[in-house]
Amino acid sequence: MKAWILLCMALMLPAGVMANETPKEGEGAAPTVAYVSLTPPFVGNFALDGNSKLRVYKADVALRVTGADAVAAVKRQDPLIRNQLVSLFVQQTQDSMTGVESREKLRQEALKQVQQVMNDEEGKPIVEDLLFNNFIVQ
């Protein structure tokens, strides 16, 4: 019976030791990818010129970053990022807000502008990608 208990304890020891040796971020482990949702969603008007009627959009935006420091930096700059994206969305026309190719161009432009904000404020682009989780135009 004692031999059985000792064998069980010996088998459990390596698992317990390995569980405590998992590398933490910054100690050789790959940094984790995170998606930071910009909440609340963007809702506003566009195409306010005299020739077209008022249009409304709603955009749920998420930013892909790597590491906890990047998440904190995005949250610090959230108001400036939101301002830049609102300015971009307001300048759009019906054609640039609809269609797959047009939305992809808009997404790429939004990513460039967010990266520029982060570069100006934090010294590096930080944001790797920008995703539209939901994009509605009426």
Strand partners, 59: 42, 135
pTM of the model: 0.75
Q: Domain residue spans in the chain?
A: 34-137
Angle at which helices 78-90 and 68-76 cross, to 10°: 60
Quick: pLDDT tens for 34-48: 999 999 999 998 866
Helices (H) and strands (E) in the chain, counts: 5, 3
pLDDT in tens, 76-102: 999 999 999 999 999 988 888 888 999
In the chain, the largest separation of any two C-alpha atoms, in whole Å, equals 90
Report the alpha-carbon distance of residue 3 to residue 33 in Å, rounded: 46
